[in-house]
Amino acid sequence: MSAARPGVALVAHSGGPTPVINASLLGVIQESRRHREITALYGARFGVEGILAEDFVDLYRQPHEVLEAIGRTPSSALGSSRRENTEEDLARMVEIFSKHNVRFFLYNGGNGSMGTAHQIAAAADDAGYELQVIGIPKTIDNDLVQTDHSPGYGSVARYFATAIRDIDADNRALPKQVEIVEVLGRNTGWLVAATALARAKPNDAPHLMYFPERRLPLHKFLADVEGVFSRLNRCVVAVCEGQLDETGEPFGADVRSGSRGSLAMNVGHRLAMLVSEHLKLRARSEKPGLIGRASSLTISPVDWNEACLCGSHAVTAAVQGAGNQMISLVREPGTEYRVTPGLVALDEVAYVEREVPPEWRSENDILPPFFEYAIPFVGEVPAFPRLDD
């Protein structure tokens, strides 16, 4: 690869925010200042909508201490978008890039966004416009392929591990109740798996967890809950918002139409109602929902550093002319945890979803290999001391 043509760098966010997408932004800003090929650094307000509206923030003009502080906050400081782009949008974006001499486009998102990034690169190529497009990985769902894990996941995993530990303490103090905790995740169970990370002893919560990768027959769920309850006189269940029953329906939950089909809105509550109705047990549900992905207090330091690294490495790669690729996190072999940034073609990660490996999960629990995988970047969530310990 050869050095890229100098010009403006533009960074944009896409899809749902994460607790560390601003850390990636900080990495982009810090690294950009080191390269004279980058004549200015713009941030698009609200993702592609800001590009199409030419609504840019000149990031070099923001006070340094504000940017440092923003880098430590959750959610997207630039704003994001879920817009589905048309062919016209893509062509228009290339025109706008040309008008502003944007030569480096850094797009921070998940697998759908990597598809968009790839389309933008292709549109620029068609127009004969020299543009380096680099994807910065970001997803709380951890479903991007070709990377060990994705920035954002570690912190939200930490949120759910902490939440389940806390709920477990509550349920232990006031038992005779079934607690359903609805966890983020439509199609993959990476976050539900993380609810087990604070477990220290055999009867610590979650007592049951289910993976949306696999349909869950209602009778099986009820039998599982009944079994745990009869043994412990309480039960904490972690279930994904996207969990489906044996017929492919969300247990009678309310649904709304979303960008990827219909989305159930209250699966946890529906399951609590079904427990109450069928098993005659006191049941309730909690749904932290977006509070989980916006949580400021559970940012994993390793996740934060890696998000920052992905941002800075995207700039380096762009300046080196490594366009049409996404930054990945490569786990180095050895007993000590170490990741280095890698590069992977955008079209290899676009629109592909990585599931939790079947050999890492049982029918209602996550297995040891996951703990080895996740703890290094989620961080330890210490168990609570107890009187009966």
Active site residues: 141
What is the smallest separation between the CB atom of 66 and its own copies, expressed in angstroms? 5
* Contact by Cβ (8 Å): 19, 152: yes
How many Cβ atoms sit within 10 Å of the Cβ of residue 331? 16
Among all chains, which residue has been given the structure tokens 């039960």?
A: 235
Torsion of CA 290, 296, 302, 308, to 10 degrees: 90
Kindly tell me which of 262 and 296 has the beta carbon lying closer to its own copies.
296
Kindly tell me which of 93 and 140 has the beta carbon lying closer to its own copies.
140
What is the smallest separation between the CB atom of 127 and its own copies, expressed in angstroms? 30
- Residue 183 phi/psi, 5-degree rounding, is -110, 150
> Residue 8: CB partners within 8 Å, gap ≥ 6?
38, 39, 40, 41, 42, 100, 101, 102, 103, 104
Kindly tell me which of 74 and 323 has the beta carbon lying closer to its own copies.
74
The CA distance from 10 to 44, in Å, is 7
Kindly tell me which of 46 and 104 has the beta carbon lying closer to its own copies.
46
Residue ranges binding its own copies (CB under 8 A): 13, 16-17, 43, 46, 57, 62, 66, 69-70, 73-82, 162-163, 165-167, 169-170, 172-175, 179, 181, 254, 256, 265-266, 269, 272-273, 276, 282, 284-291, 293-298, 384-387, 389
Contacts by 145-148, CB closer than 8 A, 24 or more apart: 145/111, 145/348, 145/349, 145/352, 145/353, 145/354, 146/326, 146/328, 146/344, 146/348, 146/349, 147/326, 147/328, 147/329, 147/330, 147/342, 147/344, 147/349, 148/328, 148/329, 148/330, 148/331, 148/339
What is the smallest separation between the CB atom of 269 and its own copies, expressed in angstroms? 5
Kindly tell me which of 248 and 385 has the beta carbon lying closer to its own copies.
385
> Using the 8-state DSSP alphabet, how is residue 381 labeled?
-
What is the smallest separation between the CB atom of 339 and its own copies, expressed in angstroms? 26
> Residue 243: CB partners within 8 Å, gap ≥ 6?
210, 212, 216, 250, 251, 264, 267
What is the smallest separation between the CB atom of 83 and its own copies, expressed in angstroms? 10
What is the smallest separation between the CB atom of 309 and its own copies, expressed in angstroms? 22
Closest to 105 in 3D by CA, of 64, 59, 136: 136
Kindly tell me which of 277 and 332 has the beta carbon lying closer to its own copies.
277
The structure tokens listed for 368 are 């040891």
Kindly tell me which of 65 and 359 has the beta carbon lying closer to its own copies.
65
Angle between the N-to-C axes of helices 368-378 and 153-173, in degrees from 0 to 180, rounded to the nearest 10: 110
What is the smallest separation between the CB atom of 383 and its own copies, expressed in angstroms? 10
What is the smallest separation between the CB atom of 25 and its own copies, expressed in angstroms? 10
How many Cβ atoms sit within 10 Å of the Cβ of residue 254? 12
Kindly tell me which of 5 and 260 has the beta carbon lying closer to its own copies.
260
323, HSE (Cβ side, Cα atoms, 13 Å): 22
* Contact by Cβ (8 Å): 68, 62: no
The structure tokens listed for 315 are 């700039």
